A and B are shown apart, each in its own frame.
Chain A
Amino acid sequence: NVKLMWRFMSRESCHSVAPHCSNQMKILASVPQFCNSPTMIVMVGLPARGKTYISKKLTRYLNWIGVPTKMFNVGQYRREAVKIYKNFEFFKPDNEEAMRIRKACAAAALKDVTAYFTKEQGQVAVFDATNTTRERRAIIISFAKEKGYKVFFVESICDDPEIIAENIRQVKFGSPDYVDRDIDEAMEDFIQRIDCYRASYMPIDDERDRKLSYIKIFDVGNRYLVNQVQDHIQSRIVYYLMNIHVTPRSIYLSRHGESELNLLGRIGGDSGLSPRGQKYANALATFIKGQNIRDLKVWTSHMKRTIQTAEALGVQYEQWKALNEIDAGVCEEMTYEEIQENYPEEFALRDQDKYRYRYPKGESYEDLVHRLEPVIMELERQENVLVICHQAIMRCLLAYFLDKPADELPYLRCPLHTVLKLTPIAYGCKVESFFLNIEAVNTHRERPVNVDINRNPEEALQTVPDHI
């Protein structure tokens, strides 16, 4: 069946990055290559400069846009080697024993980096350690050169004592190293730990290191120095790092109020709100006022139901076409039962790989992520934002903030009439869920047990939620 084969080939080509998949290249080249050789991102900086924060965030972002990335935190390796952390003396430059252990940990981490690139098809590895001496960086550079990996340094420089203290408070106290200490003890120990590094700290030098590729971040983003960006992925990384900030703020995610088509169990379309949906819009307005948010920005899509929801808030809002619901192509405005009846094969294929499956003449979740990337970039720049969007969109945005992988993303629960408040803290995101007490249909369809093309209709429709 030529048609099916063609569709299969186009679907294959949806895969975002597959640099090592040479057999796929023979059928069809994959979508734009972000990098041909694997890239190592190497963090540089004294303790409490935000290296791990940046590493985790960058890893989360790159994975979300489809670049397989993994973080390697050398401190973790050290904790596994040493088991119990006594005090800062471990980090004293004259502690031979400790030096040996630390060097071994770094080597072990590099070994795992190689395994990640060669065996696990990884594309980017973030090497999170202080890497404060030229000697250590030279080891990494020659390691990478030998293996054919590109290296990009990210150095964080900060001398503002308040920022450093805040850092320590937010993340170090919760660290396994300080589990049994009281706050003042921990603070004092950590400051002495920093001092151990300070004497031997050699920042990346603008003259001597002019051939290296790096970005220096000064004072949490006040200033950047960027040197020798080699390729697309490094350019994207620089752009991302220049847009993130650490100012406290909250992001509110919500779907539109219940729509007419929701009630009928139909997907897609551009219908208006049902009466209950309208009630939700009013409840949302009350909720938002109650939250007393400073300078809240409100974003909607271009579809009626989100706009009608935002109208009830009585504040200015911006419309993004990129926030429109996933285009279900030929299945627009159908019920699941109708899709099963008219396109049983498509229905089954979707259940097999809901993330990559593209509706005929429509989109896939993967396409959604691609079109939401500018939204995410702008969300990073903003402070308090309320995004009124749709089920598939909200799943993609949530997956970004909560670091959910591609196979979980299409099954995240985003019920109607519920607001999610995300507050970035420490290395992650705190989530609070507010159901605004207005009944609505359930639109969540779990993955059925049988996803075979030849399954019977009952098996396919097993998990379809109720509707009129």
Chain B
Amino acid sequence: VTDNNKETAESKIWSFSVSPFLSVCMTNCPTLIVTVGLPARGKTYISKKLTRYLNWIGVPTKEFNVGQYRRECLKIYKSFEFFRPDNEEGLKIRRQCAMAALNDVRQYLSVEGGQVAVFDATNTTRERRGTIIKFAEQNGFKVFFVESVCEDPDVIAQNIVQVKLGSPDYIHCNTEEAIEDFMKRIKCYESSYQPLDEVLDRDLSYIKIMDVGRRYLVNRVLDHIQSRIVYYLMNIHITPRSIYLCRHGESDLNIKGRIGGDSGLSARGTEFAKSLRKFIQDQNIKDLKVWTSQMKRTIQTAECLGVPYEQWKSLNEIDAGVCEEMMYEEIQEHYPLEFALRDQDKYRYRYPKGESYEDLVQRLEPVIMELERQENILVVCHQAVMRCLLAYFLDKTADELPYLKCPLHTVLKLTPMAYGCKVESVYLGVDAVNTHRDRPEVRIPGCTQKCLSAEDVDIMNPHKGCDITYIDTSTSILTPSLISFLSLSGSRHGRHHAVFFFFSCLLVSQLCRNWSPIFRITQLWGQITGSLKDKPLKFRAKTKLRL
């Protein structure tokens, strides 16, 4: 990351942002997070959540669940007897699995460029933890323990019901059998459990989470990433709740197909806001908080709900810089190179004087932290922002994030359950334009991309008779030159001109690898020769040409 510093300031590196977290987190050595605790204490829940969070903020993280390794080794789980402390065979297999997992950790952190590995196992004995510490020392990893301690029988029972019953281990058992077996399994660990000790382990870095977050003991936080992990763990909770995500109602600029800006709601957008109000009331949500951005369209949407709401500047739409309030065709026209660069890496691409999705993630991090603290909440935001939030909750990669579908007038209800998130999508029945632009299929460096399909633009533009140029690369090569050829072939001189023109078009396009000069030249030529007098070029791919 710091190699960027060696580039001169003039270089085009500013088109792409650099993971902000990596540039701060100058940990030279990778970190190994080790969970500690009896079964059904939420270790895997914490591991998965932490991994998801770290990956979202840009820290490559992977979890290694030793139970998985055991399942692959054993194939069939018979009963709790496997976990008995006097089962020599079982102990041998379990040790091997732990070693295999540690080997993979080494592979991930030292070879594959990972930054954090989460080693998810009970690790309840001092001996086992000693082995891990030694392993980490040998490989130059920092170790941070996360211990979960809980004696509340209700919480443990709830845990077992939520995640253990569905586990591959208990697929063939009925509920009572499974619970009974699992309780005996826990008992197997209890006798040899040595929790992290305040005195004996005072030189270790760890956090002890007691009773699902009622109390924490934090020891020797060494660096930035451990500090962030501690902060995150102290903000999450497991109280049941739902998060509602939606965009503002359709806006005036949406209808015109323009990005960004700060316009108000269209008539349909206002209708959506009213439908949203009814939807929220019908959902009968306890103590719902409502958040919006500081842009008109989200505020107007929230106003219709008739409840107090909070405005976050961090929820504002991505800043498109010089491209603000432009249509995609205009961006294509004025900034064709930028447009292509964006399609190459939409996540990291930063609009000139604007932002990238990566910048968005960084500015949304406090929002996510606060969302974790909250209970029932409705967030009224924008397309790019909603994509980032959704990617966090649904664990989508940076690659997928900018292409997540977040249509207007649709509410997503996210309910955390087990290790993930249940998603329900509710379309509120009010029509709106489609603002989603898929990843283009053809990617030729230096060439302009397919801008929009005709269908997209048709939907976006209810005024079909107006002046717009659609660019479809499949027909664009031939049509302008053909047109000029046809229009000019009337006269003998014209024919020569037309042929000359046809080939010079091809030459020009090859030289600058960009088709738009052709249109300009054709347009100019046509206007000079009078054949296209007063008629700007209009093509509709798939419909007949109009001159």
Contacts and interface: CB of A to CB of B under 8 A. Distances in A.
Nearest to A297: B26
A139 B214 CA distance: 24
A304 interface: yes
B219 A223 contact: yes
A316 interface: yes
Nearest to A206: B215
Nearest to B324: A361
Contacts of A308: 9
B77 interface: no
Nearest to A360: B262
Contact of B313 (A6, A25, A31): A31
A149 B452 CA distance: 57
B9 A272 contact: yes
A141 interface: no
B538 interface: no
B24 A235 contact: no
A114 to B, nearest CB: 26
A interface majority secondary structure: mixed
Contacts of B198: 223
Given A226-B215, A238-B234, A319-B18, A367 B5 contact: no
Contacts of B18: 319
Interface string A200-227: 0000001000100000000000111111
B interface majority secondary structure: mixed
Given A31-B312, A223-B220, A242-B221, A321 B234 contact: no
Contacts of B220: 222-223
Contacts of B310: 29-33
Q: How large is the interface on B (under 10, 10 to 19, 20 to 34, 35 or more residues)?
A: 35 or more
Interface string B1-30: 010110001100010011010011010000
B370 A223 contact: no
A320 B214 contact: no
A29 B311 contact: yes
Contact of B370 (A32, A226, A243): A32
A198 interface: no
A438 B370 CA distance: 47
Nearest to A367: B313
A235 B235 contact: yes
B296 A225 contact: no
A226 B234 contact: yes
B370 A232 contact: yes
A132 B220 CA distance: 26
Interface stretch (B224-232, B242-250, B515-523): B224-232
Interface string A245-274: 000000000000000000000000000100
Interface in B290-323: 291, 294, 296, 299, 308-314
Nearest to B216: A226
Given A239-B231, A321-B20, A321-B359, 9 more contacts: A13-B294, A31-B310, A206-B215, A210-B214, A224-B219, A226-B234, A235-B373, A311-B9, A370-B314
A228 interface: yes
Interface string B190-215: 00000000100010000000000011
A28 interface: yes
A446 interface: no
A338 B231 CA distance: 46
Contacts of A242: 218, 221, 227, 230-231
B466 interface: no
Contacts of B2: 316-318
B23 A318 contact: yes
A272 B9 CA distance: 9
Nearest to A332: B353
Contacts of B312: 31-32
Contacts of A381: 224, 227
Interface in A1-25: 6, 10, 13, 25
B322 to A, nearest CB: 11
A370 B373 contact: no
A229 B234 contact: yes
Interface string A284-317: 0000000000000000001010011011000011
Contacts of A320: 20, 23-24
Contacts of B373: 231-232, 235
